[in-house]
Structure 1
Amino acid sequence: MTAVGDIVAERSVHLTRASLVRYAGASGDFNPIHFSDHVASAVGLPGVLAHGMLTMGLAVETIVPWLGDAGRILEYGVRFKNPVVVDPESGAELRIVAKVGAIDARGARVDLTVTHGETTVLVKAHVLVRLP
């Protein structure tokens, strides 16, 4: 039985520049801020950034093993708070924790905490899931 406050999933994901290239190919998002240090710095960014949709997708994917079926996801939304800077040598480590925030007649609201180091990346990251 799932209860409010339960941590239902957690994981770390290591991103590299190669991860960004693969995602760009899959998504068609070839914005150079996701692969070029020169372009990123020219537009005032602290470095090459992970795609927001990649970060969002990795976050929600964390709960799929717990759900057993991604089709149980009814709604998903986030706000982007901080970018994920992917270092050319060390990459970037995302930490994702999924915790049940509420349960009602529609299902369970799972709150995702997504951090990169000490920095919160996504806020108001909520997934509404249908309970079995």
Structure 2
Amino acid sequence: MLSRIRHQNLVCLEGFCYESKQQILVYEYLPGGSLADYLYGMYNAIMDDWMNRSGLLIGISKGLEYLHNGSDPRIIHRDVKCSNILLDKDMNARVCDFGLSKQLVQSDASHVTTVVKGTAGYLDPE
């Protein structure tokens, strides 16, 4: 299912490796690094510009909106954080690491889950 998801604000799955004790997902390479690098690392001066930040937020929102409402089945990310937002060469935000996501089928539409997935202590708003 992950290999079929295509959106301009999501990182695409290119392939996988499943051998005896190795399970690896291979995603496309994005040369811009992660949003965490820019917020907390040596590149944080770029984030001083409100237009850069608002453009990134719009891209992140579009990617999450597609996962939550545009994909079939709908997907709840479950681990949104700045290290899971990668940047392409043009500084466009791309959401990644939704392999631990929850598929939401119609029968789950009113179900609330409190099971922690992904980063310890993270609980998605849904």
TM-score, normalised relative to structure 1? 0.29
Task: Point out which structure has higher relative CO (alpha carbons under 8 A, 6+ apart).
Answer: 1
More strand by share: 1
